[in-house]
Amino acid sequence: MSPGPVRVAVAGCTGSIGTQTLEVVAAEPDRYRVVALGASGRDVDRLVDQARAVRPELVAVQDGRHADRLGAELPPGTALEVGDASLALLGAVGDVCVNGVVGFAGLRVTLATLEAGRRLALANKESLIAGGPVVQRSRRTPGAELVPVDSEHGAIHQCLRGADRLGPRRVARLVLTASGGPFRGRRRAELERVGVDDALAHPTWRMGPKITVDSSTLMNKGLEVIEAHELFGAPAGDAGCGIGFDAIDVVVHPQSIVHSMVEFTDGATIAQLSQPDMRLPIGYALAHPDRLGTPFGRMDWSTAAHLDFEPPDHEAFPCLRLAYDAGRLGGTAPAWLNAANEVAVDAFLGGRLRWIEIPEVLKRALDRHDGTPADSVEAVVDVDRRGREAAQRLIEART
């Protein structure tokens, strides 16, 4: 890395991950400097405020509608780039790019960062889930490094530290924790009439609407199972621990204090604990292999705490099994399911689909996946488009 502060690019800067990344950087200004901001361009007020605060070299927006206003209000010395391809410019600007873009749109940022041989602090799980095989290729670029920001995978990354010095196959299981979302404990029949406000009332995490709905259906956890397989499924010593889908478990843990665990072959389990605060995994991904000097989410052990664990209810939350199915199918099946899910969640948020219908649409959509291999970015983009169309048709056909 270059001398002086670590240069940080933030893609998806106006969203939840982006704003919390700026808080982490602001906490350690001698160590980190934000050099580029990228956003969809819809939340212009926030983007202008952020740019005036951090004075980046570059601001990139996908949506050009407010380009004139941005051109007038950005600080002097900040270049403006506009258009769908502009976010990918962030990959090569800094030493590290935090990818907090929402949904499949984050794939280009992921690929651009890895192909530039930089560190990718990845919060955009969809790019890894949908683009898995092509992202794996770009991870092999010299200098490229992927450190997960997703709290569960950040936890596993921490629990696995040192595991590469063990013999092969000494990791027995990865255990992802799930808060269970706002509907934990409800039976299927009690979920017939839940609405958008119910689904967005997450008990422990503050996040954007897409991931909060995914959390309510447990699709978020399903996608994270695929993400864990992509991140840690490679053979031991090759940035992975050789783990398959049968050795990735999910346990519901409503307090969101244990962020995930690794079980070793001798029966020992190592876990990472903290309050639910995304600034900790963001800071971990920036500082790795060092750690931040600023605590985020530290535990106060002087107050009584209960840690509860229970198995997921697959009948009430069928999306979790659907994700395992897609992950085991491999190829472009995860991309297809992810695309269908983005459409279904959008339809739910727009009042065009009931919550209980989301897994029904996704099950039928996954049945229509045609087994296209994921051998190029273009193939993945095409599968994403067709998966969206298939879900859209299924949603329209039921009304």
Q: Choose the binding region for Mg ion from 53-61, 143-151, 169-177, 353-361 (rule: CB under 5 A).
A: 143-151
Long-range contacts of 389-394 (CB under 8 A, 24+ apart): 390/336, 390/340, 390/365, 391/339, 391/340, 391/341, 391/343, 391/344, 391/361, 391/362, 391/365, 392/343, 394/361, 394/364, 394/365
Asked if 348 contacts 216 with a C-beta cutoff of 8 angstroms, the reply is: no
Classify strands 171-178 and 258-264 as parallel, antiparallel or unpaired: antiparallel
What is the smallest separation between the CB atom of 169 and Mg ion, expressed in angstroms? 26
Q: Which is nearer to Mg ion, 20 or 151 (CB)?
A: 151
Q: Which is nearer to Mg ion, 25 or 225 (CB)?
A: 225
Q: Which is nearer to Mg ion, 14 or 151 (CB)?
A: 151
Q: Which is nearer to Mg ion, 40 or 204 (CB)?
A: 204
Q: Which is nearer to Mg ion, 130 or 379 (CB)?
A: 130
Give the single-character DSSP code of 88: G
What is the smallest separation between the CB atom of 239 and Mg ion, expressed in angstroms? 20
Q: Choose the binding region for Mg ion from 39-47, 134-142, 149-157, 283-291 (rule: CB under 5 A).
A: 149-157
Binder of Mg ion out of 150, 263, 313, 325 (CB under 5 A): 150
Classify strands 171-178 and 79-82 as parallel, antiparallel or unpaired: unpaired
Q: Which is nearer to Mg ion, 96 or 250 (CB)?
A: 250
Contacts for 154 with CB less than 8 Å, ≥ 6 apart:
147, 148, 259, 272, 280, 281, 284, 285
Q: What is the distance between the alpha carbons of residues 53 and 70, in angstroms, rounded to a whole number?
A: 15
Q: What is the distance between the alpha carbons of residues 128 and 356, in angstroms, rounded to a whole number?
A: 27
Q: Choose the binding region for Mg ion from 34-42, 144-152, 179-187, 333-341 (rule: CB under 5 A).
A: 144-152
Distances (CA, A) of 113 to 162, 285, 290: 26, 14, 21
What is the smallest separation between the CB atom of 214 and Mg ion, expressed in angstroms? 9
Q: Look at residue 96 and give its three-state secondary structure.
A: strand
Q: Choose the binding region for Mg ion from 26-34, 104-112, 150-158, 290-298 (rule: CB under 5 A).
A: 150-158
- Give the relative orientation of helices 44-54 and 16-27 as an angle to the nearest 10 degrees: 20
Q: Of 212-251, which residues contact Mg ion (CB under 5 A)?
A: none
What is the smallest separation between the CB atom of 389 and Mg ion, expressed in angstroms? 28
Q: Name the residue among 103, 195, 172, 157 with its Cα closest to residue 280.
A: 157
Burial of residue 140 (number of CB atoms within 10 Å: 0-12, 13-18, 19+):
exposed
Q: Which is nearer to Mg ion, 50 or 151 (CB)?
A: 151
What is the smallest separation between the CB atom of 379 and Mg ion, expressed in angstroms? 27
Asked if 296 contacts 302 with a C-beta cutoff of 8 angstroms, the reply is: no
- The CB-nearest residue to Mg ion is 150
β-pair partners for 310: 252
Q: Choose the binding region for Mg ion from 32-40, 142-150, 356-364, 368-376 (rule: CB under 5 A).
A: 142-150
What is the smallest separation between the CB atom of 53 and Mg ion, expressed in angstroms? 27
Q: Of 173-202, which residues contact Mg ion (CB under 5 A)?
A: none
Q: Which is nearer to Mg ion, 41 or 100 (CB)?
A: 100
Q: Choose the binding region for Mg ion from 152-160, 188-196, 333-341, 351-359 (rule: CB under 5 A).
A: 152-160
β-pair partners for 39: 61
What is the smallest separation between the CB atom of 128 and Mg ion, expressed in angstroms? 12
Count the site residues for Mg ion by CB under 5 A.
Answer: 3
- What amino acid is encoded at 138 in this protein? S
Q: Does 277 bind Mg ion (CB under 5 A)?
A: no
Q: Choose the binding region for Mg ion from 25-33, 147-155, 179-187, 292-300 (rule: CB under 5 A).
A: 147-155
Q: Note the Cα 153 to chain centre separation in Å.
A: 9
What is the smallest separation between the CB atom of 65 and Mg ion, expressed in angstroms? 32
What is the smallest separation between the CB atom of 302 and Mg ion, expressed in angstroms? 28
What is the smallest separation between the CB atom of 44 and Mg ion, expressed in angstroms? 29
The residue ranges that bind Mg ion (CB under 5 A) are 150-152
